[in-house]
Amino acid sequence: MRIQAALVESPGGPFTIHHLNLDEPRPDEILVRTTAVGICHTDLSTRRIWPPERLPMVFGHEGAGVVEAVGDAVTTVVPGDTVCLSYRSCNACPPCVTGAPAYCESAGILNFSGSRPDGSTPLSRLDGTPVHGNFFGQSAFASHCLTFESNTVKVPADLPPAVVAPLGCGVQTGVGTVRSVLRPSPGDTLAVFGAGGVGLSAVMAAVADNCTVIAIDPIAARRAMAQELGAAAVIDPTTEDDVAAAVRDLTHGGPHHAIDTTGRPAVITQAINALRKRGTLALVGLGTAEFDTMPAITKGLTIRGVTEGDAIPTETIPQLITLHRQGTLPLDKLITEFPFNDIETAAKAASEGHVIKPVLAFPDGG
């Protein structure tokens, strides 16, 4: 079938809209008509470093949509179901069968190879030239995409697509890092370094769990949003000579927990230096970091890498929807909608910090 999709044709190049061909679903695949898709930092950072031999490429991994067709082996959804899309896992390796699909042993080939595991791609230009895809088992920067049972979660049809879309990555990462990984006790203190979509989702979860939250971000609007969502204090790192000391002062000796969403070495060092003895740092942001091990050793810190908030999408996404309906996760406050055709404008707005969570909406819902 003919679809519209946003292509990246060179490393770091812009998103440009093209008509493509999409194969019919194989027995294990699901055809989804996209109604909304979030732009995540991972989409923006990955397009900068994506190998030229796997271009052109369709990214996008926070999709929401409606099932239009399913392969013969699919049993979990049917045409007409409203769905949220997340990361793909194999459901067979030791991490998957023990409840940790975010650490699937086949995660690389299933989510980041630019093709199906057999090397094929369901996407092509109108002249038949192959186009890479299958990003996170979806490539949702498109009017339609092919997905799989492990990353396609049925959700209530009455939820706005713009709210559903970020649940599959950014929101579950922030909330899951608090509730599934750090698991703070009521009254604990938490420092969140970076108040974007992931960081603010963590703020909401921690506030709901009766924690004292400090948010650190250079953008005034994001600091203001953190306070609106319940953060006890915020810090502008561009005006503080010693961010770690400022965090320690606000938390009476250092927070029990910290989350880094930036992946920046200097920020990770600030988090390590801020934590109290026996504190825990969750690393969520992608990057390459070097830091002094002495503070981590002498304070007995736990440093924990976290993928997707340790979420099991089929379990986590319904839980997030319940929290949203209860008012605990007012995601609407984070979202700015853009027409799908304005994807590059939305990406620039996110990169420059003008919006927190851009979500692309499709004409007539898909």
Tens digit of pLDDT at every position of the chain (366 positions): 999 999 999 999 999 999 999 999 999 999 999 999 999 999 999 999 999 999 999 999 999 999 999 999 999 999 999 999 999 999 999 999 999 999 999 999 999 999 999 999 999 999 999 999 999 999 999 999 999 999 999 999 999 999 999 999 999 999 999 999 999 999 999 999 999 999 999 999 999 999 999 999 999 999 999 999 999 999 999 999 999 999 999 999 999 999 999 999 999 999 999 999 999 999 999 888 888 899 999 999 999 999 999 999 999 999 999 999 999 999 999 999 999 999 999 999 999 999 999 999 998 644
Helices 343-351, 41-49: crossing angle, 10 deg rounding: 100
Q: Got the DSSP string for 118-138?
A: TS--SEEETTS-EEB--GGGT
Span between the terminal Cα atoms of the chain, in Å: 15
User: What's the confidence (pLDDT) of residue 366?
Assistant: 45
Separation between Cα atoms, residue 200 and residue 253, nearest integer Å? 23
User: What's the confidence (pLDDT) of residue 244?
Assistant: 98
Contacts of 73 (CB under 8 A, 6+ apart): 27, 28
User: What's the confidence (pLDDT) of residue 288?
Assistant: 85
Separation between Cα atoms, residue 110 and residue 105, nearest integer Å? 10
Separation between Cα atoms, residue 213 and residue 250, nearest integer Å? 10
CATH 3.40.50.720 fits 174-307, yes or no: yes
Name the nearest CA neighbour of 173 among 344, 361, 42: 42
Separation between Cα atoms, residue 146 and residue 21, nearest integer Å? 12
User: What's the confidence (pLDDT) of residue 287?
Assistant: 85
Same topology for domains 2-168+334-365 and 174-307, yes or no? Answer: no
CATH code that applies to domain 2-168+334-365: 3.90.180.10
Name the nearest CA neighbour of 199 among 221, 224, 217: 217
Separation between Cα atoms, residue 196 and residue 281, nearest integer Å? 18
- Partner residues linked to 70 by β-bridges: 30
Specify the pairing of strand 63-70 against strand 82-85: antiparallel
Contact 57, 46 (CB under 8 A): no
User: What's the confidence (pLDDT) of residue 289?
Assistant: 81
- The answer for 173, left when phi > 0, alpha when psi is -120 to 50, beta otherwise, is alpha
Specify the pairing of strand 233-235 against strand 302-305: unpaired
Which SS3 state, helix, strand or coil, does residue 85 take? strand
Domain ranges of the chain: 2-168+334-365, 174-307
